[in-house]
Amino acid sequence: MTAGPDIALEKVQFDYGSAPMLFDVTFSGGVTTAIIGPSGSGKSTILNLIAGFEIPDSGRILIDREDVTSLSPAERPVTMVFQDNNLFAHLSVRRNVSIGLDRKTHRGAGENIVDDALERVGLAGYADRKPGMLSGGERQRVALARVLVRQRPALLLDEPFAALGPGLRSDMLALIRALQQETGMTVAVVTHQPDEAEQFADEFVFVDQRRIAGQGSATGFSGRQDIPGLQAYMGEKDR
Ligand SMILES: Nc1ncnc2c1ncn2[C@@H]1O[C@H](COP(=O)(O)OP(=O)(O)OP(=O)(O)O)[C@@H](O)[C@H]1O
């Protein structure tokens, strides 16, 4: 197991046209970082820039110190999972997961790899179902199985479990945690639940007003007084 890559946004400027954003931050390799902050602060944009769905106006994106700014999303060593998990309704669970396979690398071994991944996310025996026959949590597990077969060293999750109830959400976060520790990949998760972030993440990044306002160890981060805007944000969360 090799530790996942550091991911750096180096003086990245980006503007959808309404207000400029500036991100200068490094996500540590081989750990889980929770990205928190008020609505509209730029959290999803950070993931979209890393994944290559948005291109910086200036600055660079480095993954494992390699400049990936001009690479397409498919060429970048990252996988992204969205809240609505991107499953194809007309395909079986097995086919949905095997979309993640790199055919050249795996040739005949594909079916075993897919079955192993389904077993690891607790869905052995679900391979022939269609997504419509699964619960929300099960569908997210299928999306995670696809992440596993893709074997990319970095995983980006944009509020992946927001639609799930608290119990299921905490099961899924525990699963991500276990997979991260098993594979050593770099994980960045956008979350609106700072209290959960202390439990599942190693580090946090706080985004406020389209800038990085602070970062550090996730342990006890919510009490930090030295990060501008953090206590105001935590207060809002409590209301
Ligand atoms: N596709 C888009 N076109 C134009 N503006 C956008 C687009 N996506 C986001 N924005 C704007 O960019 C800013 C940052 O949005 P972003 O989605 O990154 O915030 P966020 O912190 O993830 O918010 P939330 O917590 O509400 O999901 C916001 O002002 C938003 O309105």
pTM: 0.91
Token readout for 189 is: 């998760």
* Residues in the chain with pLDDT values less than 50: 239
Which residue, by CA, sits nearest to atom 4 of ligand 1? 16
Q: How far is the CA of 140 from the centre of ligand 1 (A)?
A: 23
Token readout for 110 is: 């594909």
Token readout for 193 is: 């639940």
Q: How far is the CA of 91 from the centre of ligand 1 (A)?
A: 31
Q: Are 138 and 87 in contact (CB under 8 A)?
A: no
What confidence tens digit (pLDDT) does each residue in 175-194 have? Answer: 889 889 988 999 999 998 88
Angle at 224 between CA 154 and CA 29, to 5 degrees: 15
Best residue for ligand 1 mutational test, from 9, 23, 25, 41 (most atoms within 8 Å of Cβ): 41
Q: Domain limits of the chain?
A: 1-77+155-239, 88-151
Structure-token match 């990949």, residue found:
185
Give the whole-angstrom CA distance, residue 172 versus residue 176.
Answer: 6
What confidence tens digit (pLDDT) does each residue in 66-86 have? Answer: 999 999 999 999 999 887 767
Structure-token match 């389209």, residue found:
210
3-state secondary structure the chain: CCCCCCEEEEEEEEECCCCEEEEEEEECCCCEEEEECCCCCCHHHHHHHHHCCCCCCEEEEEECCEECCCCCHHHCCEEEECCCCCCCCCCCHHHHHHCCCCHHHHHHHHHHHHHHHHHHCCCCCCCCCCHHHCCHHHHHHHHHHHHHHHCCCEEEEECCCCCCCHHHHHHHHHHHHHHHHHHCCEEEEECCCHHHHHHHCCEEEEEECCEEEEEEECCCHHHCCCCCCHHHHHHHHHC
Give the whole-angstrom CA distance, residue 23 versus residue 28.
Answer: 15
Q: Which residues does ligand 1 sit against, CB inside 6 Å?
A: 16, 18, 37, 39-45
Task: Give the type of residue at 231.
Answer: Q
Q: How far is the CA of 211 from the centre of ligand 1 (A)?
A: 13
Superfamily name and number for 1-77+155-239:
P-loop containing nucleotide triphosphate hydrolases (3.40.50.300)
Chain center to CA of 227: 24
Task: Give the type of residue at 204.
Answer: F
